[in-house]
Structure 1
Amino acid sequence: MVDKAGPLTAAQAQRHLLNRATFGPRPSDVESLAKLGIDRWLAAQLSPATKDPAGDEAWRAFKLAGADPATVRRSVNQYAWDAMFETGFATLGRQVFGRRQLFEVVVDVFANHLHVSTPSDRGWDVAPQYATQVIRKHAFGRYADMLKAAMRHPAMLRYLDNDTSTRESVNENLGRELLELHTVGVSSGYTEKDMRGSAYVLSGRGATEDGLFEYRPERHRTGRVKVLDWSAANTSARGGLALGDKYLDYLAKHPATAKTIARKLVVRFVDDVPPRELVARLAQVYLRNNTAILPVLTALFRSAEFWNSLGRKTKRPLEDVVGTARALDVPFGPSSDKGLEAMYWQLNNLGHAPLAWPSPNGYPDVAPAWSSAGQMLERWSSHRALSYGWWEGLKREKLPADLRPRSGDTYREWFDRLGVRLIGQRPNSRQRSALAQFVGAKTTSRVDLGRMEWQAGHVVALVLDSPQFLAR
C-alpha cells in the first residue's frame, strides 16, 4: 500500500478506506475501524444482514419516503411532489446519520446508474417506491435482478416514456438508454437497428393510472428481433413480457455490461480514470458470480489499485456537505428532519441534491464536473453553517468538546488536534501559519479560551476548507 510519498501507515490506510467507503467518517467510524481492523470492518459493512437503527430512524422522520403509489395517492394532491422530496430528504438522512455507510454509498452508485430523476413530473406517485424496491432492495444482490426490477417499475417506464409505446409507434427512449447507459455501452458496437430491436422487445411494458406495472400484449411489437448476438422470433404478443426478461438477462450477463458495472464501481471507489486492468479483473468476477455485486466489491477492496489510489478522488458537493455533518458528529434529534430539509436545499443550490439529477445518465463522478470557484464558496459557506449550527434542526449551543480548545492548549496543539480529528492528519506548517494569522496569535501562544468561545467555529470551518478535507 503505497502512494507518491511511500508506504501507507496503518492510520493512512484506515483513513483512506473511511474516505472512500463512507460519506465521511464520524468519530465512531474511526473508533470502530481501529478496533475491528480493516478486514472485519469491511466484512461487517458488506454483510447484507447488518442492521442500521440510526439510518432507519432518520428515514422514518419522513412518512412518505419510499411510499408505494397507493399510499402516495391517498396522502397528497395529484401530481404533488411531496413524496418525492421526502424520499430525497430521507435518503440524505441515511447518508448523514446511518452507520451502514458502505451500503449507502453503493445505493448512491446504482441510483445514478439506473437513474430516475426524483423529483420529476411523471414520478410523483411512483418514484418514491423505485428508490426502495429497485435500488435499495438489490444494491447488495444481483445486477440482473436489479435491472429486471427497474424495467418492470412504473417509475422507469414513465420516466423514459415506455408507457407511451404502441405496436404501431414504438417509443425508443428506454430501449436506447438500456443499451447505452444501463448495460453494454456505446463501445459494444450496437447499431441503430439493435437499438430499435431493443425498444421492440420492451414494448407493451407500462403503468396503470394508479401507478402499478402492467403489460399490455396489444401494445407489444411482434416480429423477429436481433440485438448484438441475441435474437428471438418474438411471435407471441402474450409472451412478450417473458421474452423481455430473457433479453434483460442476456444484457446483464454480457461481457460489455460486466465492464460497465466494474468501471462504474472503480470510478466511484478508486480513480476518475479507471485502471483498465482492474476493470477487466472485476468484470470477470462479476461474470463468474452471475452478476452478484458483493463479490465485485470484495475484489475491489482487496485490489492493489484501491489501496494505491490515495488522493485520486475528490468530494463532490454531496460528499462534502454530508461529510462535514459527519465529521462534526452532528447528532440526530427531534427536529433533525428540518435540518435535513435545509441541507437538501443547500445541496440543490450546489446542483447535487440526492436522486435529483435531471438527465437519465445520473450525477457525474469525476472532479472536473464539479470544479468552479462559485461552487467552492458555497461549500465553504456550508462548512460554517454546520460548524455554527445555523440551519434549523441542526442547531447546537457549542461545538463537540473534542473540537474545542482545552485549558492550557497552545494554538499549535489545538490546530494539530483539529487536523487529526477532521482531516486525519496534522495541518502543515503553511496551514498552521494561516490559522494563526486568522486568530491573530502565534502558534506557540496559549489559546484565548474566551475569544475562541465564539471564534472556534470559524477555525473548525477553515480546517474543513482545506484540500485534505476535499480529498475522498
Structure 2
Amino acid sequence: MAKNKFDLLPAPQRHLVTRFGYGVDAALARDVRQAGGADAWFERQLTRPGSFPDGDADAVRRWWPDLDRGPMELWKRQVQEVRGGWQVMEDYGRWLLVRRIRTRRPVLEKMTEFWEGMLHVPVSGDAQFTWRVDYGDTVRKHALGRFDELLAATTTHPAMLLFLSAATSTKRAPNENLGRELLELHTVGAGNYSEDDVKASARILTGFHVDMWNTWKASYVKEDHWTGPVRVKGFSHENRKGDGREVAAEYVRYLAHHPQTAEHVAERLVTKFVHDDPPRSLVKRLAKVYLHNDTAIVPVLRALVASKEFRASAGRKLRDPGEDVVATYRALGVRLDRPSGDDSGVYAMLWQAQGLGLSPHAWPRPDGTPVRDDIWASPSRALASMSMHWSMAGMWWPKVDLHYREPSAFVPARKAIRFADLVDAVSRELLHRPATKGLVTTASLATGCRAKEKIDREHGLYQWGFPRLLAAVLDSPDHMAC
C-alpha cells in the first residue's frame, strides 16, 4: 500500500470538517490535528476564528480593486462606461470562490455563505450592486454572532432596501416588498402572517432611504415615515414619532425572537447541514437552543453537530455548484496566481460555477440560494460536473495563471506501484479517505488498468491516461457528496 503524504482524519472527524468546510486537504487536516481533533477545531472555528491566521485568503481582495470602491464611485464608473456593475459583481463572485479555496476559517466562510443565501440580495441588480460588497461584509461580521443583530444589520442595509424597493418607500405609498419578505423569508416563514401584517410591516419600515440619483448615500427621512398604531402578529406600537427607527429596531428584534422564526432558522440550518427532509425533532430542539440563548448562533451550531441526526448524515448531502468548484480546486491542489489578463484561470472559475447551475449569490429570486439537494441533483448537473472534472484532471482548462499537480506527484520515480495501490494513494490525496473496492473497480473501467497491474513512469497511464484516473475519483460520490 502506498504511504499517503498526510495522516487521514477518522471518518466522524472528516464528516464534521467536510460538512462545515469546502473539502479536506493537507493544510486543513493539519489544522484539525493541531487543534486536538475535529471537535476542538470546530469550537475554535466558532469562538476564535482569528486564531487561524488567514492572510493568504485576505490578500485575494486586492486582486479586484473595485470591491473596495464606494457606491457613488461605482455608479459613476458604470454610467461613464468605465466598468459595469455586472463586471464588479463578477469580481465579487470570483473573490468569494478564491477566498473559499484559500481560507483557514471555513466555518466562518460557510456560515457567511449560508446567511447571505437566506437573507438574500442577488448580485445581479443595476442598483443594489453599488452596496452589495458592503452587504456581504456586514453579513460576515455577524455570521457567528446573534441572529437578532444580523437581522437588524441586514433588514435596513442599503443593498436590501434597494433590492426590495424599500429605498423609496414613503408614508404616502408604502412599498410592501421588504415588509413581506422580512416575514416570509427572513423570520416567521410562509403561511405564518396575514396581509394586514404585511401592510403594517411595510409602514414600520418607511423612512429608510438611499439617494439613487446623486450620492447613493443611505439616510433616514422622518417626513416619509408612516405614523400611527401598528400591529404585526404579537407586536404592537403606538408609533407616534416621525423618527421611526426605534420602532423598526424593536419590531425586527421582536421578529428575531419569535418562536416561528426560531423554527424557520433551525429548519434551514438542518436542511443545509443534515438532510433535505429536516427531522422535526431536531428542528424543535435547535429552535429551543436558539431561543434559550437569545438568538446566539454558536450554541445552535454546537447542538446541531452534537446531534445523532448530524452524525448519521455523513456523505448524504450533495455539493452545490460553488461547493463543487471550490472542492475540486482544493482536491487537485491547484494554486492560483493573481489574474494577469482576461484569459486568466481565476476568471474562469465563475464560468465553471455558472456551467454547473449557479455562480455565488446569483439566484434571481428573493427566496435565496437553495439549500436542498434536489435542486442540483439532475442529469445535466452531473454531466456538467463530470465535464469540469475532466477538463481540470487533464490540466486543459482553465490553465492560465494556474498551477496543477503533475502525475509525478502520485507515481514514484523509481519503483512501480500496483494500480489498486495507486488508486488508493490518489483517493487519499483527493478525497482524504482510502479507496473503496467500488472506486478501484470504477477506476479500472475508466482507465483499462487491472487492479494488480504495475504502474511506473513509462506506463501509458502515466504518460497520457492519468486524467482518466483523476476524473474517475472526482466523479465518485465521495467527492460529489459531503
The two structures have a TM-score, normalised by structure 1, of 0.92
Q: Deviations over 1:127-157 (max 9, x none)?
A: 121111x211111111111111112211100
Cα distance, 1:369 vs structure 2: 0.7
Q: Give the Cα–Cα distance (whole angstroms) in 2 for the partners of residues 318 and 21 of structure 1.
A: 14
Q: Map 1:194-213 to 2 at 5 A.
A: 194-209=197-212, 210-213=215-218
Contact 2:271 2:277 in 1 (8 A): yes
Cα distance, 1:439 vs structure 2: 2.5
What residue in structure 2 maps to residue 34 of structure 1?
33
What residue in structure 1 maps to residue 444 of structure 2?
436
Q: CA RMSD in A?
A: 2.2
Q: Give the Cα–Cα distance (whole angstroms) in 1 for the partners of residues 185 and 435 of structure 2.
A: 42
What residue in structure 2 maps to residue 463 of structure 1?
473
Q: Give the Cα–Cα distance (whole angstroms) in 2 for the partners of residues 385 and 405 of structure 1.
A: 24
Q: Give the Cα–Cα distance (whole angstroms) in 1 for the partners of residues 63 and 411 of structure 2.
A: 31
Contact 2:9 2:432 in 1 (8 A): no
Q: Which of 389-398 and 373-382 deviates more?
A: 389-398
Contact 1:224 1:231 in 2 (8 A): yes
What residue in structure 1 maps to residue 290 of structure 2?
286
SS at the partner of 1:342?
helix
Contact 2:74 2:85 in 1 (8 A): no
What residue in structure 2 maps to residue 5 of structure 1?
none
Q: Give the Cα–Cα distance (whole angstroms) in 2 for the partners of residues 16 and 469 of structure 1.
A: 12
What residue in structure 2 maps to residue 256 of structure 1?
260
Q: Give the Cα–Cα distance (whole angstroms) in 2 for the partners of residues 454 and 317 of structure 1.
A: 29
What residue in structure 2 maps to residue 344 of structure 1?
350
Q: Give the Cα–Cα distance (whole angstroms) in 1 for the partners of residues 171 and 55 of structure 2.
A: 48
Q: Map 1:222-301 to 2 at 5 A.
A: 222-238=227-243, 240-301=244-305
Q: Give the Cα–Cα distance (whole angstroms) in 2 for the partners of residues 324 and 341 of structure 1.
A: 16
Which of 26, 45, 65 is equivalent to 1:63? 65
Q: Give the Cα–Cα distance (whole angstroms) in 2 for the partners of residues 166 and 439 of structure 1.
A: 66
Q: Give the Cα–Cα distance (whole angstroms) in 2 for the partners of residues 139 and 460 of structure 1.
A: 35
What residue in structure 1 maps to residue 464 of structure 2?
454
SS at the partner of 1:249?
helix
Letter aligned with residue 16 of structure 1: H
Q: Give the Cα–Cα distance (whole angstroms) in 2 for the partners of residues 401 and 28 of structure 1.
A: 20
Cα distance, 1:20 vs structure 2: 0.1
Letter aligned with residue 209 of structure 2: G
Contact 1:179 1:185 in 2 (8 A): yes
Q: Map 1:70-89 to 2 at 5 A.
A: 70-73=72-75, 76-77=78-79, 80-89=85-94
SS at the partner of 1:272?
coil
Q: Give the Cα–Cα distance (whole angstroms) in 2 for the partners of residues 68 and 258 of structure 1.
A: 35
Q: Which of 91-100 and 395-404 deviates more?
A: 395-404
Q: Map 1:165-180 to 2 at 5 A.
A: 165-180=169-184
What residue in structure 2 maps to residue 25 of structure 1?
24
Contact 2:262 2:287 in 1 (8 A): yes
What residue in structure 1 maps to residue 398 of structure 2?
391
SS at the partner of 1:310?
coil
Contact 1:152 1:213 in 2 (8 A): no
Which of 359, 369, 372 is equivalent to 2:365? 359
Contact 1:111 1:131 in 2 (8 A): yes
Tell me: CA distance 1:74–1:419, structure 2 relative to 1, closer, same or farther (3 Å).
Answer: same
Cα distance, 1:164 vs structure 2: 2.8
The two structures have a TM-score, normalised by structure 2, of 0.90
Q: Map 1:381-420 to 2 at 5 A.
A: 381-389=387-395, 390-393=397-400, 395-396=402-403, 398-399=405-406, 401-404=408-411, 407-420=415-428
Cα distance, 1:39 vs structure 2: 2.4
Q: Give the Cα–Cα distance (whole angstroms) in 2 for the partners of residues 129 and 437 of structure 1.
A: 49
Q: Give the Cα–Cα distance (whole angstroms) in 2 for the partners of residues 441 and 21 of structure 1.
A: 36
Contact 1:181 1:361 in 2 (8 A): yes
Contact 1:384 1:458 in 2 (8 A): yes
Q: Give the Cα–Cα distance (whole angstroms) in 1 for the partners of residues 225 and 401 of structure 2.
A: 52
What residue in structure 2 maps to residue 328 of structure 1?
332
Cα distance, 1:48 vs structure 2: 4.1
Q: Give the Cα–Cα distance (whole angstroms) in 1 for the partners of residues 68 and 278 of structure 2.
A: 33
SS at the partner of 2:39?
helix
Q: Give the Cα–Cα distance (whole angstroms) in 2 for the partners of residues 302 and 394 of structure 1.
A: 42
Q: Give the Cα–Cα distance (whole angstroms) in 2 for the partners of residues 231 and 373 of structure 1.
A: 50
Tell me: CA distance 1:400–1:150, structure 2 relative to 1, closer, same or farther (3 Å).
Answer: farther
Q: Give the Cα–Cα distance (whole angstroms) in 2 for the partners of residues 471 and 253 of structure 1.
A: 34
Q: Deviations over 1:303-359 (max 9, x none)?
A: 222112223211112111111111112223243893232011121232221121111
Tell me: CA distance 1:72–1:444, structure 2 relative to 1, closer, same or farther (3 Å).
Answer: same
Percent of counterpart pairs with the same letter?
36
Which of 120, 126, 129 is equivalent to 1:121? 126
Contact 1:205 1:213 in 2 (8 A): yes
Contact 2:335 2:402 in 1 (8 A): no
What residue in structure 2 maps to residue 49 of structure 1?
50
Q: Deviations over 1:408-455 (max 9, x none)?
A: 101111012222332343443343233223322321111142321332
Letter aligned with residue 311 of structure 1: G
Q: Give the Cα–Cα distance (whole angstroms) in 1 for the partners of residues 464 and 77 of structure 2.
A: 44
Letter aligned with residue 450 of structure 2: K
What residue in structure 2 maps to residue 13 of structure 1?
12
Q: Give the Cα–Cα distance (whole angstroms) in 2 for the partners of residues 365 and 66 of structure 1.
A: 29
Contact 1:387 1:399 in 2 (8 A): no
Runs of 5+ in structure 1 lacking a partner? 1-8
Q: Give the Cα–Cα distance (whole angstroms) in 2 for the partners of residues 67 and 290 of structure 1.
A: 36
Q: How many residue pairs are counted as aligned between the two chains?
A: 461
Q: Give the Cα–Cα distance (whole angstroms) in 2 for the partners of residues 108 and 24 of structure 1.
A: 15
Q: Give the Cα–Cα distance (whole angstroms) in 1 for the partners of residues 284 and 134 of structure 2.
A: 34
Contact 1:386 1:394 in 2 (8 A): no
Q: Which of 201-210 and 383-392 deviates more?
A: 383-392
Q: Give the Cα–Cα distance (whole angstroms) in 2 for the partners of residues 398 and 244 of structure 1.
A: 54
Cα distance, 1:404 vs structure 2: 4.1
Contact 1:388 1:396 in 2 (8 A): no
Q: Give the Cα–Cα distance (whole angstroms) in 1 for the partners of residues 273 and 37 of structure 2.
A: 19
Q: Give the Cα–Cα distance (whole angstroms) in 1 for the partners of residues 443 and 305 of structure 2.
A: 36
